[in-house]
Amino acid sequence: MSQDPKSLLQRFYEGVSTGDLSVIDELLADDFVEHEDFPGIEPNKEGVRQFFTLFRSAFPDLRLEAHEVVVEGDLLCVRGIMSGTQEGDFMGLPPGGKRFEVEGFDMVRIRDGLVTEHWGVFDSMVMMQQLGAIPAEAPA
């Protein structure tokens, strides 16, 4: 498979946002390595499937939106927004119908048209505040 890196990213974000997790098999290499830790999730291709299955079950309207995208050699970097409304259990937090919207950064390495590595950060503290799991402000 050979497609330009920005199209590959857009295809992945669209797939996840519509619940089509087959994009994981389509766009991630079998030897994919995840460098962003998430409790209980393996740092490989199957772990990516587990991560997005978990998020989509808790947030059925989960959306990934790419904003700025920069490609340099075999690396692609993106500033994006992840959002969703909690309608299922999430890490011990019962569904509350609350919406989150947080900014994040992803960097991926692409080899032969497939993603081989991912590094990322997103504001999980703000996400948990928006979901009501932790206070948004410290008590006075």
8-44 per-residue burial string, b: 16 or more CB within 10 A, e: under 16: bbbebbebbbeeeeebbeebbbeebbbebebeebebe
pLDDT confidence of residue 111: 96
Domain regions of the chain by residue span: 5-130
pLDDT confidence of residue 1: 41
Residue at 24: amino acid letter = I
Does this model's pTM top 0.85? My answer is yes
Q: Which fold has domain 5-130?
A: Nuclear Transport Factor 2; Chain: A, (3.10.450)
For residues 123 and 29, give the distance between their C-alpha atoms in angstroms, rounded to a whole number.
27
For residues 49 and 114, give the distance between their C-alpha atoms in angstroms, rounded to a whole number.
16
Over residues 95-106, the pLDDT tens digits come to: 999 999 999 999
Over residues 113-140, the pLDDT tens digits come to: 999 999 999 999 999 999 999 887 766 6
Q: Are 45 and 21 in contact (CB under 8 A)?
A: no
